[in-house]
């Protein structure tokens, strides 16, 4: 039985060719800001490595479809578990390697590809495994909340645009943003041109948008958070 007969992926090349191609990409790919890398369950990747090193297409170590189920908190939200460790829980592979593995082995139905961007942060270039996850809402209805994910290198302007899209804020509306921390304190996000990192916006916070009233006033001097 060939690897292709065990899953609905394309016919892969020979095992030694697979090993050489993927190992070469892992060895030679450098981190460049904006490039995509992908998270792969470490156990699946190690089983794939054992399979290709066995040289036997009928080996019992055949890994099957890419399966990242163990990395998720649940299979509804597909949120990553907290504090996953690279090379213990998962492996990062460049986009070129991911595309080959996906073509050869396929992926478990319903699971999203775990694409992450390389970001250029102060003093380090890294794959942003855990982007900033925040909640968005309007001041006029703070019970209607949606979640969103942003890179630390995204601008606050990008956050503002996301709020406008999420709640269909009319184009041209004059608005301002506040960020609410877990202790319920609010701080105005005055400069929309700085990055998420520089604004100190972090996961778990809420971004509140208020729009100016027709009479030129704002709904409040500061959002009242209970």
Could you give the CA distance from residue 129 to residue 116 in angstroms, rounded to a whole number?
6
H and E: helices and strands count for the chain:
5, 9
Residues 191-200 pLDDT 10s:
999 999 999 9
User: Residue 88's pLDDT is what?
Assistant: 97
3-state SS class at 128 = coil
3-state SS class at 95 = helix
User: Residue 3's pLDDT is what?
Assistant: 41
Q: What percent of the chain has pLDDT over 70?
A: 93
Could you give the CA distance from residue 194 to residue 163 in angstroms, rounded to a whole number?
17
Residues 55-98 pLDDT 10s:
999 999 999 999 999 999 998 889 899 999 999 999 999 999 99
pLDDT-based confidence at residue 4 (cuts at 50, 70, 90): very low
Our measurement of the distance from residue 87's CA atom to the centroid of its chain's CA atoms, rounded to an integer in Å, reads 18
pLDDT-based confidence at residue 1 (cuts at 50, 70, 90): very low
User: Residue 11's pLDDT is what?
Assistant: 84
The domain ranges of the chain are: 3-125, 132-211
Mean pLDDT confidence for 38-50: 98
Residues 130-144 pLDDT 10s:
999 999 999 999 999
Residues 98-129 pLDDT 10s:
999 999 999 999 999 999 999 998 889 999 99
Distances (CA, A) of 209 to 154, 161, 165, 199, 206: 18, 11, 12, 16, 10
3-125 belongs to CATH 3.40.50.300: no
DSSP string, 13-79: --HHHHHHHHHHHHHHPPP-TT-EEEEEEHHHHHHHHHHHHHT-TT-TT---SB--GGGBS-TTT-P
Which single residue is written with the structure tokens 């450098």? Answer: 30
- CATH domain 132-211 topology: Ubiquitin-like (UB roll) (3.10.20)
Q: What percent of the chain has pLDDT over 90?
A: 79
Please give the angle made by the CA atoms of 91, 148 and 89, to the nearest 5 degrees.
Answer: 15
pLDDT-based confidence at residue 214 (cuts at 50, 70, 90): confident
User: Residue 2's pLDDT is what?
Assistant: 42
Q: Is the pLDDT of residue 6 over 50?
A: no
């Amino acid at each position: 039985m060939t690897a292709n007969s065990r899953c609905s992926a394309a016919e892969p090349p020979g095992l030694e060719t697979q090993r050489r191609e993927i190992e070469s990409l892992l060895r030679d790919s450098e981190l460049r800001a904006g490039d995509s890398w992908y998270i792969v369950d470490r156990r699946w990747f190690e089983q794939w490595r054992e399979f290709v090193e066995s040289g036997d297409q009928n080996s019992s170590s055949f890994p099957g479809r890419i399966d990242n189920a163990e990395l998720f908190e649940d299979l509804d939200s597909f949120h990553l578990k907290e504090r996953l460790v690279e090379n213990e829980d998962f492996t990062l592979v460049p986009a070129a390697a991911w595309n080959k593995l996906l073509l050869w082995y396929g992926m478990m139905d319903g699971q999203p590809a775990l694409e992450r961007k390389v970001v250029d942060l102060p003093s380090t270039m890294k794959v942003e495994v855990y982007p900033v996850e925040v909640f968005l809402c309007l001041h006029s209805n703070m019970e209607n909340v949606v979640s969103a994910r942003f890179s630390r290198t995204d601008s606050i302007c990008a956050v503002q645009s996301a709020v406008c899209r999420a709640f269909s804020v009319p184009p041209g509306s004059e608005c301002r943003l506040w960020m609410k921390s877990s202790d319920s304190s609010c701080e105005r996000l005055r400069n929309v041109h700085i990055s998420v990192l520089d604004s100190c916006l972090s996961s778990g916070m809420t971004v509140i948008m208020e729009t100016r009233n027709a009479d030129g006033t704002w709904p409040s001097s500061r959002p009242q958070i209970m």
